[in-house]
């Protein structure tokens, strides 16, 4: 078993490094920025390009399996494979962020840089919140400081304290941004994230605040209610009315084709073409949420996203791969040239797979999402259905729930770069979909309504596995194949080995004074988990 475990780690590292191909310059995260980037625009651009923690190998090997969202090849997966990636990405960015704040604070034009300061606060808050969801307690207030011995061994802050601090930063930023103020200095193309659209920046900040108000509600009800009342009751700007011409302004994340300069990358080409990954298929668990039966001709499909996300097998049939890993098929549905093999040309390919027209042809367009418009609607549906911080309103919950589903459909059918994109469903067809028994909303039944909200949020987040994993851990209501139990069910990712070696005193303190193994660390619940 030990030998098998080590062998898998070697394969996974090989996949990881291959999946970074094309991102070499973006993934450079040294201890300090170079002299050439030590400017306010340069530092900001560096932070924005490294903001999402996107990693296809992490998603495919670990997260999508834990969320029961796709069948995968590997049954033995260790969080040790992934526990340093986000960590090593985060702290150089935190250093750059603090240096950026220093430059602004010491600038004679400090007041004119206030918008830049606030949007940098939003970016850093987003990345910090991801870190908390992933690791729990982390070094924060003492981290990313000047290069001295103490800053290399920073104390760990409690997650709840960081959540409160970051949420306060988001509120200040959303309220502090000045729209239409000609005195504010523009950083031009260095804002590669939202291109100086300050209304979109406010929407992004409020969307994050709403997500974490819901996520923290059971532990910090007063704070969460205050945030929800402020945003929902105050009708603060949020993503809405999906704009096909500017998807990134309502679906926040890293869009490679929209940064300046444009990033050319084969990240999805590399990850899906890896031999150790290329056997992933459409899972039976996801298929059960999108089709009313197992008819292989697809006649039971009711979810219009199915044919955007997936494609048929070698026999042109809709056959899902068992989620429980009882059967692992071969074949090569994701060839290196990005073209789908001809029907009948790959006899080993027995199961429906992910759509190559989406994966390969969109590798320079497809985003690493942080929070989408659909995510926000599902949050609002939960808020109204459960009466979180506002009066319970099942009619408003139903409206938000259905808007979330429509927004998700609109998002995928706006991906005009997808080759062979199916015809967008008509309003009548969407109405039929919303009335399918497993989808239809019944606000009179709290348990059923909440489960359907979670199910649709989980399904919509299939391409944002970090959010899917958060839904799994927070609610326990996401669809599961009853025959499949992952060998490893971590509640968080353990700390990198370097922390035990180089920051042992603080590492021990974060673990309660006991040196825990990686598996033991992984069982510690993050703050908001029940």
Sign of the dihedral through C-alpha 288, 330, 345, 278: positive
- Tokens encoding 519: 């598996």
How far is residue 240's CA from residue 219's CA, in Å, rounded to a whole number? Answer: 29
Per-residue pLDDT band for 27 (boundaries 50, 70, 90) equals: very low
- CA 164 vs. chain centroid, Å, equals 21
Using one digit for the tens of pLDDT, what is the confidence trace for 144-183?
875 544 557 899 999 999 999 999 999 999 999 999 999 9
How far is residue 391's CA from residue 229's CA, in Å, rounded to a whole number? Answer: 10
Q: In this structure, are residues 29 and 43 in contact, taking their beta carbons and an 8 Å threshold?
A: no
DSSP secondary structure letters along 459-502: HHGGG-HHHHHHHHHHHS-S---TT---S---SSPPPPHHHHHH
User: Is the model's pLDDT at 363 over the cut of 90?
Assistant: no
Identify the CA nearest to 519 among candidates 495, 485, 486.
495
Using one digit for the tens of pLDDT, what is the confidence trace for 366-403?
788 999 999 999 999 999 999 999 999 999 999 999 99
Q: 202 or 5: whose pLDDT is higher?
A: 202
Q: What is the pTM of this model?
A: 0.90
Identify the CA nearest to 492 among candidates 30, 62, 42, 29.
62
Q: Is 156 helix (H, G, I), strand (E, B) or coil?
A: strand
How far is residue 21's CA from residue 265's CA, in Å, rounded to a whole number? Answer: 7
| Strand residues in 60-170 grouped as ranges (E) | 138-139, 156-157
Supply the pLDDT for residue 341. Answer: 85
């Amino acid at each position: 078993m030990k030998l098998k475990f080590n062998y898998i780690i070697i394969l996974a590292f090989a996949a990881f490094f291959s999946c970074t191909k094309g991102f070499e310059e973006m993934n450079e995260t040294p201890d300090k920025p170079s002299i050439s980037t030590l400017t306010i625009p340069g530092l900001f651009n560096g932070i924005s390009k490294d903001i999402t923690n996107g990693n296809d190998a992490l998603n495919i090997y670990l997260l999508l399996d834990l969320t029961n969202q796709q069948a995968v090849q590997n049954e033995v997966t260790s969080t040790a494979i992934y526990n340093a990636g986000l960590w090593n990405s985060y702290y150089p960015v935190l250093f750059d962020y603090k240096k950026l704040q220093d430059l602004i604070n010491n600038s004679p034009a400090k007041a004119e840089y206030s918008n830049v300061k606030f949007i940098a606060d939003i970016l850093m808050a987003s990345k910090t919140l991801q870190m908390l969801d992933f690791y729990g307690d982390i070094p924060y207030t003492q981290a990313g400081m000047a290069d001295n011995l103490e800053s290399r061994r920073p104390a760990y802050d409690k997650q709840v304290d960081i959540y409160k601090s970051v949420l306060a930063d988001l509120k200040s930023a959303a309220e502090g941004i000045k729209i239409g103020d000609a005195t504010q200095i523009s950083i031009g193309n260095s804002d590669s994230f939202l291109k100086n659209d300050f209304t979109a920046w406010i929407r992004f900040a409020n969307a994050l605040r709403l997500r974490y108000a819901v996520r923290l509600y059971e532990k910090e009800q007063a704070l969460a209610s205050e945030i929800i009342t402020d945003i929902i009751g105050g009708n603060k700007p949020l993503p809405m009315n999906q704009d096909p011409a500017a998807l990134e302004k309502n679906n926040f994340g890293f869009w490679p084709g929209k940064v300046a300069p444009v990033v050319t990358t084969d990240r999805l080409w590399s990850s899906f073409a890896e031999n150790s990954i290329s056997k992933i298929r459409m899972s039976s668990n996801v298929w059960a949420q999108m089709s009313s039966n197992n008819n292989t001709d697809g006649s039971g499909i009711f979810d219009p996203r199915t044919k955007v996300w997936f494609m048929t097998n070698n026999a042109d049939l809709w056959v899902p791969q068992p989620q429980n890993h009882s059967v692992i098929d071969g074949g090569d549905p994701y060839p290196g040239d990005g073209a789908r093999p001809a029907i009948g040309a790959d006899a080993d390919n027995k199961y429906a797979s992910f759509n190559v027209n989406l994966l390969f042809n969109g590798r320079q367009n497809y985003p690493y999402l942080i929070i989408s418009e659909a995510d926000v609607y599902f949050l609002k549906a939960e808020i109204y259905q459960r009466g979180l911080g506002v009066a319970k309103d099942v009619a408003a919950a139903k409206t938000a729930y259905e808007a979330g589903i429509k927004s998700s459909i609109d998002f995928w059918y706006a991906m005009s770069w997808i080759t062979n994109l199916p015809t967008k469903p008509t309003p009548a067809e969407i109405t039929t979909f919303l009335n399918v028994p497993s989808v239809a909303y019944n606000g009179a039944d709290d348990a059923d309504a909440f489960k359907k909200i979670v199910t649709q949020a989980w399904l919509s987040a299939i391409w944002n596995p970090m959010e899917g994993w958060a839904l799994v851990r927070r609610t326990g209501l996401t669809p599961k194949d009853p025959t499949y139990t992952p060998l490893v069910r971590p509640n968080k990712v353990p700390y990198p080995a370097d922390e035990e070696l180089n920051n042992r005193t603080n590492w021990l303190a974060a673990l309660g004074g006991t040196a825990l193994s990686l598996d033991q660390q992984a069982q510690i619940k993050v703050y908001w988990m029940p």
